[in-house]
Amino acid sequence: MGAGKRSLTMAAVAVVCAMTVLGAPVTAYASQTKPTEPTPSPSPSGTSDSSDTSGDSGSPDTASTPASTPVTNEELEAVREKLESLYHDAAVATDAYNAAEEKADKQSAEIVDLAHEMVKGQEKLDKLQDLIGAAARAQYRGGGLPPEVQLWLSENPQDFLEGADRLRQGQLATKGLLAEMTQTQQDLEQYSKDASARWEKLEANRKAKDKAKKKIKKQIAAAEELEAQLEDDELERLAQLEEDAAQQSQAAWLDSGILDEINGKASEQGKKAVKFATDQIGKPYEWGAEGPKTYDCSGLTSQAWAAAGLTIPRTSQEQWKQLRHIDIQDMRPGDLIIYNSDASHVAMYIGDGSIIHAPRPGRTVTIAGAGTMEILGVVRPDA
């Protein structure tokens, strides 16, 4: 490894715990993430002038550059924890982005519906105004004499009485038209107010979506930059540390005996959801993606259940809020396991203590142990 590349590596490791790429992590995560140990600074490389070769080999002035200090596992563990924090914050921001996008789509559809209602309301109002005008003209042609005078002048009182009855009906009809026109005008005013309110919410959600998008990109870029400082062998050791941590968590979860209590059978819809999810194995993670080529965690689970014929919330947080909660010992294949105290990750349980999920940027849809992450709870889409 070159001295220049090594200095970059060691510098990255040394500042791992002090990085403030986007400020402090979200409170929910900070409360559960243990603080990392300060990273020891690397030993400085030799500073002798390589152009001076005239001195004795034993002279202090001609000391050769010492071998660079290897990155320890403890230092790599600090890098692993920082990467976990960065990707966690990116997942939280991704959930915020997905939620804002879902709301914006819904509000856009509502605005379109309101526009249609306004068009229909205006057409109705125009028709009512024409009918009221026609009624007024008909009454005018009927004359302005009082009814008792018209009765006295009439040659056939019965005809007059029938005509008077029709007149009263016409007056009642006109009154009804006026009332309906007033209601239609009020409806149009309300449609206009509702549309304005939804436009304001739509703009607010667009801004929230843009803000979340920027945060996602910054968090992922920071993680990628940190990983780029490591050499290939260090990346391999880092990957091994991640695998070891996951295996330890899974072993602790299994040692609790929980798997002995979980024996639920998948529903027909659950089987379809599991099949869809497993068919996506190997496809890359991409934040905000719902397939068919890439997925984020909740994009995978929501699309899997959509394939099974059931619409569920788009984000892991809303899946946790809206779907029925199930005791973990009662879960069955197809149920969703929500992870982290802020419900920032979701996976689908597939049986035998395993899940399928889209982990994070740089990873693909894969099978993992259900206990490899902190379980918040379990929800059932088809309860």
* 28 close to 340: Cβ distance less than 8 angstroms: yes
Please measure the distance between the N-terminal and C-terminal CA atoms of the chain and give it in whole angstroms.
57
Is 88 part of the annotated catalytic residue set? no
- Please give the C-alpha separations between residue 313 and each of 102, 104, 326, 333, 376, in angstroms, as whole numbers: 9, 14, 17, 19, 17
Give the number of other Cβ atoms within 10 Å of residue 66's Cβ.
Answer: 11
Our answer to whether residue 297 is catalytic in this structure is yes
Edge-to-edge strands, sheet with 375-380: 324-326, 375-380, 336-339, 345-351, 354-357, 366-369
Rg of the chain taking only CA atoms, in angstroms = 36
User: What are residue 100's phi and psi, to 5 degrees?
Assistant: -65, -40
Q: How far is 85 from 87, CA to CA, in rounded Å?
A: 6
* Cα–Cα dist 27/344, whole Å: 13
Clarify whether 357 is annotated catalytic.
yes
Q: Which residue out of 17, 88, 116, 297 is catalytically annotated?
A: 297
Which one is catalytic: 88, 116, 325, 345? 345
Active site residues: 297, 345, 357
